[in-house]
């Protein structure tokens, strides 16, 4: 190996084997590369070394005492022994001490069978203990959170869990309390935020059974579990996970390593949100409407009815919504079925009022999440990263720790505020103005380096824009300087802005800012499950499969070859368009697959009119959702844990999922349902297996490949004069009352997560977050039950008084469905805190 100053190496000898490693490598890692196992407890290779457990002792020549190999940097000529008699004796001593107060209750411990302490004791332990005195006893099984159980007797004080909270998640969810003999792990006495979103990871990395999952508690032993590698589909990150099943019941979820996506971590919704698969409420028989009620029927009858109504509706009068909960193969089948019938009324966005042009502003990232590792600045525009895509935050935090700049523009102070350089808490709906002011300041500061078109920004009065949006111009000036000093910037537009009064203005403004910054990825972090990739698979009204323009001759040619028929080069209706057409009586057939617009579509009234006007509503779902309750036919579907195929993530990364348990009796995979309907309407979609469907997809969609992120198209970064005019025209006037801001909470996702008792408890009561000044004015205290009145409607919530929000802005749950407008609301106290359990 050549020794260059750029990557200096050192050569050392471990157990007689020479190895050359980069300078800075620890002896532990050098040994690992040689295949020599050194036992560890406290060291975890995603966190810096600590040397707390003393298990990794090795003997180093010319060093007076044994050294901890996980903290010892390898140096030139070092001679290391890992199996010398004094090392063996030292390990036995360490283990004997660790076991002095360990209860050895392995038979009833959930970790038993996969426990590093058990394994290391078996392999390196002394066999017998000299300690005969009574052991220390604590109360067993202390619930630290609805999903976390602590057994203090088993803890060996390795500090992995507390360091995870400090180094990886940054939420400091667990801390060491007291000192010396009295040291123990506990939650901090005062927590500023809600429950940790990553506590499941501490369970995974605990080397003993001290931290165990309350959801998995006593459900199974490790040797009972049948593991199936899969992908989590709750949010859009697409974390690699493994389902463990026993006797057809999903017992737990563990994270799997995928360096490109989740590294080795997963959030708590992924860890604990699996109970819905085993739920008793699952639909297992097709339902058909008879008058006011849904009655059970046979598959044949239901499918025949659906097929008849779809054939009658024909091309332009049929629509389909779905994709988030479908596999990519299923989205592709649905798109092929509809396009073959001559309809492009397909949309993957079931819960969005705005559906901007997919080829410009389609949901998903530009580039990949791993690009954050190289980002100089991370700009979050109305994007509550930790609540919506928690595992992306872990990657972002790594970037911030490395020195990247964090900047948030949102109508609330984000939970991750303390890691951000700037957090501009703007007036709701005014993000675009802040971005425009910032663009101007950046253009000004960059002078000649800014793009020529930036001249269009010169006339703007940044100070006036900032004051309209309610942020300080000085802070913006500082942010502009920092943005220029930290290239490249990575822009993330999220739901707080996209579901606001004018999402298009925010997108145009974000594009303007990135243009004056000299580029940078513009990611639109929106959509759960496979949403972004469902668009690639074809569930999109204004593009062909693969997101090709609808008149792209090459793409149409590929479809003709694969499907054996001509596809019309036309655009269809998006979700708001379909609902509008339905309300006007122009849509006679609507298929909703794995979506719940009746509960999620932000404009409840629009959905109600659409449902009343649509001729026939078919729902494919796992549960009797709000939409399913209103349907004409409900077809029971299978969950992701019961299917094979591929799913996509927010970066349109295609990943394979595996069937972890047999499908529920009576329910069918969405693909099977769609194939049965297709056969009945006369456009048979014949495939031998889901693999065959994917094979065909790769021929129709160039660039689609398993494991890779499909490159999503994005509008070119440029400063547009029309854009500036649109933005200036869009800004909503500030109202007189308090503005209601719909916010997302990670633990309140819907039909699936509410069936996990732990998550339901983590979600807690629905809250209205009120600024202390407002609270004082309205006579509200923290925890009071309050009534929020707006638009002639009322909602009962629980007050949370913090300065997370602005004065005059109340944060309310998204489930109130405010319809994308800025509402003025009033808050009235109903009952003081504590009177309501």
Partner 1 sequence: MNLKKNGNGGRTVQRALIEGAAILKGMGVTFRHLFRKPVTIKYPEQRPAVAARFKGRHWLTLYPDGDERCVGCELCVIVCPSQAIYVKAAENTEEKRVSKGERYAEDFQINMLRCIFCGFCEEACPTGAIVLGRDFELADYSRQSLIYGKPMLQEPYPGASGRDPHSEV
Interface positions with partner 1 (CB under 8 A) = 105, 107-108, 112, 140-141, 217-219, 221, 223-224
Cβ neighbors of 570 (< 8 A, separation 6 or more) are 344, 550
Cβ neighbors of 356 (< 8 A, separation 6 or more) are 503, 504, 507
Considering the complex, what minimum distance in angstroms separates the CB of residue 102 from partner 1?
A: 15
Considering the complex, what minimum distance in angstroms separates the CB of residue 247 from partner 1?
A: 9
- Can you tell me the distance from the alpha carbon of 205 to that of 241, in angstroms, rounded to the nearest whole number? 15
Structure tokens at 494: 């999220």
- Can you tell me the distance from the alpha carbon of 86 to that of 64, in angstroms, rounded to the nearest whole number? 12
- Can you tell me the distance from the alpha carbon of 731 to that of 634, in angstroms, rounded to the nearest whole number? 42
For the chain, the maximum distance between any two Cα atoms, rounded to a whole number of angstroms, is 89
Pick between residue 225 and residue 327 the one whose CB is nearest to partner 1: 225
Pick between residue 105 and residue 695 the one whose CB is nearest to partner 1: 105
Cβ neighbors of 160 (< 8 A, separation 6 or more) are 42, 44, 47, 202, 205, 206, 207
- Can you tell me the distance from the alpha carbon of 742 to that of 410, in angstroms, rounded to the nearest whole number? 12
Considering the complex, what minimum distance in angstroms separates the CB of residue 837 from partner 1?
A: 19
3 state SS of 770:
strand
Pick between residue 107 and residue 291 the one whose CB is nearest to partner 1: 107
Considering the complex, what minimum distance in angstroms separates the CB of residue 217 from partner 1?
A: 6
Pick between residue 219 and residue 571 the one whose CB is nearest to partner 1: 219
Considering the complex, what minimum distance in angstroms separates the CB of residue 191 from partner 1?
A: 27
Say how many C-beta atoms besides its own lie within 10 A of residue 62's C-beta: 7
- Can you tell me the distance from the alpha carbon of 266 to that of 799, in angstroms, rounded to the nearest whole number? 30
3 state SS of 492:
strand
31 neighbors 84 (Cβ within 8 angstroms): no
Q: Among 418, 422, 419, 420, which Cα is nearest to 441's?
A: 422
Radius of gyration of the chain (CA): 29
Q: Dump the DSSP string for 119-162.
A: HHHHHHS-SS-S--SPPP---S-EEEETTEEE-GGG-----HHH
Pick between residue 244 and residue 371 the one whose CB is nearest to partner 1: 244
Considering the complex, what minimum distance in angstroms separates the CB of residue 568 from partner 1?
A: 57
Q: Which helix (H) or strand (E) holds 635?
A: strand 633-636
Considering the complex, what minimum distance in angstroms separates the CB of residue 199 from partner 1?
A: 20
Considering the complex, what minimum distance in angstroms separates the CB of residue 274 from partner 1?
A: 18
H-type alpha helices, 564-660: 575-583, 597-600, 604-613, 626-629
Q: Dump the DSSP string for 166-204.
A: IIII-S---EEES-GGG-EEE--S--SSSS-S-HHHHHH
Pick between residue 277 and residue 391 the one whose CB is nearest to partner 1: 277
Pick between residue 280 and residue 293 the one whose CB is nearest to partner 1: 280
Query: Between the CA of residue 818 and those of 671, 742, 785, 789, what are the distances in Å?
Result: 34, 7, 20, 12
Q: Among 382, 562, 407, which Cα is nearest to 485's?
A: 407
Instruction: Name the β-bridge partners of 618.
Output: 591, 633
Pick between residue 8 and residue 143 the one whose CB is nearest to partner 1: 143
- Can you tell me the distance from the alpha carbon of 221 to that of 225, in angstroms, rounded to the nearest whole number? 7
640 neighbors 659 (Cβ within 8 angstroms): no
Considering the complex, what minimum distance in angstroms separates the CB of residue 109 from partner 1?
A: 9
- Can you tell me the distance from the alpha carbon of 416 to that of 431, in angstroms, rounded to the nearest whole number? 19
Pick between residue 108 and residue 705 the one whose CB is nearest to partner 1: 108
- Can you tell me the distance from the alpha carbon of 523 to that of 500, in angstroms, rounded to the nearest whole number? 17
Considering the complex, what minimum distance in angstroms separates the CB of residue 141 from partner 1?
A: 6
Considering the complex, what minimum distance in angstroms separates the CB of residue 271 from partner 1?
A: 19
Pick between residue 109 and residue 697 the one whose CB is nearest to partner 1: 109
Check the CA dihedral 797-799-805-806 and report its sign.
positive
Considering the complex, what minimum distance in angstroms separates the CB of residue 223 from partner 1?
A: 6
Beta strands (DSSP E) in 468-520 are 489-493
Considering the complex, what minimum distance in angstroms separates the CB of residue 164 from partner 1?
A: 26
- Can you tell me the distance from the alpha carbon of 576 to that of 351, in angstroms, rounded to the nearest whole number? 10
Pick between residue 104 and residue 830 the one whose CB is nearest to partner 1: 104
Considering the complex, what minimum distance in angstroms separates the CB of residue 104 from partner 1?
A: 10
Considering the complex, what minimum distance in angstroms separates the CB of residue 219 from partner 1?
A: 8
- Can you tell me the distance from the alpha carbon of 714 to that of 764, in angstroms, rounded to the nearest whole number? 38
Q: What are phi and psi of 418, to 5 degrees?
A: -65, -15
Q: What are phi and psi of 629, to 5 degrees?
A: -60, -30
Pick between residue 112 and residue 342 the one whose CB is nearest to partner 1: 112
Pick between residue 155 and residue 372 the one whose CB is nearest to partner 1: 155
Pick between residue 107 and residue 403 the one whose CB is nearest to partner 1: 107
Considering the complex, what minimum distance in angstroms separates the CB of residue 221 from partner 1?
A: 5
Dihedral angle at the C-alpha atoms of 73, 79, 84, 89, nearest 10 degrees? -30
Please state whether the peptide bond connecting residue 818 to the residue before it is cis, i.e. omega within 30 degrees of 0. no
Pick between residue 222 and residue 682 the one whose CB is nearest to partner 1: 222
- Can you tell me the distance from the alpha carbon of 240 to that of 778, in angstroms, rounded to the nearest whole number? 47
Considering the complex, what minimum distance in angstroms separates the CB of residue 493 from partner 1?
A: 46
Pick between residue 203 and residue 650 the one whose CB is nearest to partner 1: 203
Pick between residue 104 and residue 760 the one whose CB is nearest to partner 1: 104
- Can you tell me the distance from the alpha carbon of 446 to that of 466, in angstroms, rounded to the nearest whole number? 20
Considering the complex, what minimum distance in angstroms separates the CB of residue 149 from partner 1?
A: 10
Pick between residue 208 and residue 704 the one whose CB is nearest to partner 1: 208
């Amino acid at each position: 190996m050549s020794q260059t100053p750029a990557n200096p190496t050192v050569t050392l000898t471990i157990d007689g084997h020479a190895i050359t490693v980069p300078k800075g490598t620890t002896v532990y890692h050098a040994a690992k590369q040689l295949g020599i196992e050194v036992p560890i407890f406290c060291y975890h290779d995603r966190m810096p070394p600590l040397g707390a457990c003393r298990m990794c002792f090795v003997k180093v020549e010319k060093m007076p005492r044994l050294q901890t190999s996980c903290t010892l940097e390898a140096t030139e000529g070092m001679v290391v022994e890992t199996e010398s008699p004094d090392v063996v004796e030292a390990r036995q001593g360490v283990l004997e001490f660790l076991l002095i107060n360990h209860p050895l209750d392995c038979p009833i411990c959930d970790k038993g069978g996969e426990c590093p302490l058990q394994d290391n004791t078996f392999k390196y332990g002394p066999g017998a203990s000299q300690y005969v005195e009574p052991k220390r006893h604590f109360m067993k099984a202390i619930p630290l959170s609805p999903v976390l159980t602590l057994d203090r007797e088993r803890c060996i004080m390795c500090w992995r869990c507390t360091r995870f909270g400090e180094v990886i998640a940054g939420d400091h969810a667990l801390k060491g309390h007291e000192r010396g003999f009295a040291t123990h792990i506990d939650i901090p006495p005062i927590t500023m935020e809600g429950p940790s979103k990553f506590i499941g990871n501490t369970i995974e990395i605990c080397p003993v059974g001290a931290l165990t999952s309350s959801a998995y508690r006593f459900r199974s032993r490790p040797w009972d579990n049948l593991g199936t590698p899969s992908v989590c589909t709750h949010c859009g990150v697409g974390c690699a996970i493994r389902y463990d099943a026993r006797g057809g019941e999903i017992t737990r979820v563990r994270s799997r390593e995928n360096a490109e996506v989740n590294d080795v971590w997963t959030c708590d919704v992924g860890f604990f949100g699996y109970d819905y698969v085993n739920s008793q409420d699952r639909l297992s028989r097709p339902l058909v409407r008879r008058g006011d009620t849904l009655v059970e029927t046979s598959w044949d009858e239901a499918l025949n009815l659906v097929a008849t109504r779809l054939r009658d509706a024909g091309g332009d009068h049929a629509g389909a919504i779905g994709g988030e909960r479908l596999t990519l193969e299923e989205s592709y089948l649905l798109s092929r079925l509809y396009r073959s019938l001559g309809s492009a009324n397909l949309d993957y966005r079931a819960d969005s009022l705005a559906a901007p042009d997919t080829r410009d502003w389609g949901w998903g990232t530009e580039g990949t999440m791993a690009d954050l590792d190289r980002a100089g600045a991370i700009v979050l525009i109305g994007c509550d990263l930790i609540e919506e895509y928690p595992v992306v935050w872990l990657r972002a935090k790594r970037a911030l720790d490395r020195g990247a700049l964090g900047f948030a523009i949102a109508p609330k102070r984000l939970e991750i505020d303390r890691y951000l350089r700037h957090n501009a808490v703007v007036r709701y709906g005014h993000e675009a103005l802040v971005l425009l002011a910032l663009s101007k300041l950046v253009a000004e500061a960059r002078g000649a380096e800014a793009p020529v078109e930036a001249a269009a920004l010169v006339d703007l009065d940044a100070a006036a824009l900032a004051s309209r949006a309610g942020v300080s111009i000085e802070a913006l000036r500082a942010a502009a300087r920092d943005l220029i000093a930290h290239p490249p910037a990575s822009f993330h537009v999220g739901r707080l802005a996209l579901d606001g009064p004018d999402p298009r203005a925010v997108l145009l403004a974000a594009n303007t800012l990135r243009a004056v910054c000299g580029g940078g990825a513009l990611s639109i972090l929106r959509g759960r499950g496979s949403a972004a990739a469902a668009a690639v698979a074809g569930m999109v009204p204004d593009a062909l499969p693969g997101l090709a323009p609808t008149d792209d001759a090459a793409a149409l040619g590929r479809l003709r070859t694969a499907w054996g028929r001509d596809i019309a080069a036309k655009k269809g209706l998006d979700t708001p368009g379909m609902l509008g057409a339905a309300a006007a009586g122009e849509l006679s057939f609507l298929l909703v697959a794995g979506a719940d617009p009746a509960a999620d579509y932000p404009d409840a009234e629009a959905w109600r009119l659409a449902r009343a006007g649509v001729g026939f509503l078919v729902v494919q779902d796992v549960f009797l959702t709000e939409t399913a309750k209103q349907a004409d036919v409900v077809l029971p579907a299978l969950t992701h844990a019961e299917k094979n195929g591929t799913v996509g993530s927010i970066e349109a990364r295609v990943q394979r999922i595996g069937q972890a348990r047999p499908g529920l009796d009576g329910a069918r995979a969405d693909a099977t349902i769609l194939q049965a309907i297709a056969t009945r309407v006369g456009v048979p979609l014949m495939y031998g297996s889901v693999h065959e469907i994917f094979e065909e997809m790769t021929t129709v969609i160039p660039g689609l490949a398993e494991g890779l992120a499909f490159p999503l198209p994005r509008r070119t970064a440029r400063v547009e004069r029309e854009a500036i005019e649109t933005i200036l025209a869009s800004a909503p006037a500030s109202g007189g009352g308090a503005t209601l801001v719909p916010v997302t909470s990670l633990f309140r996702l819907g039909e699936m997560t509410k069936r996990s008792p732990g998550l339901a408890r983590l979600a807690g009561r629905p809250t209205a977050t009120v600024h202390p000044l407002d609270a004082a004015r309205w006579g509200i205290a923290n925890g009071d039950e309050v009534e929020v009145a707006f638009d002639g409607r009322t909602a009962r919530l629980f007050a949370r008084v913090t300065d997370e929000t602005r004065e005059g802005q109340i944060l309310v749950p998204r489930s109130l469905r405010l319809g994308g407008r800025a509402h003025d609301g009033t808050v009235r106290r109903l009952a003081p805190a504590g009177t309501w359990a």
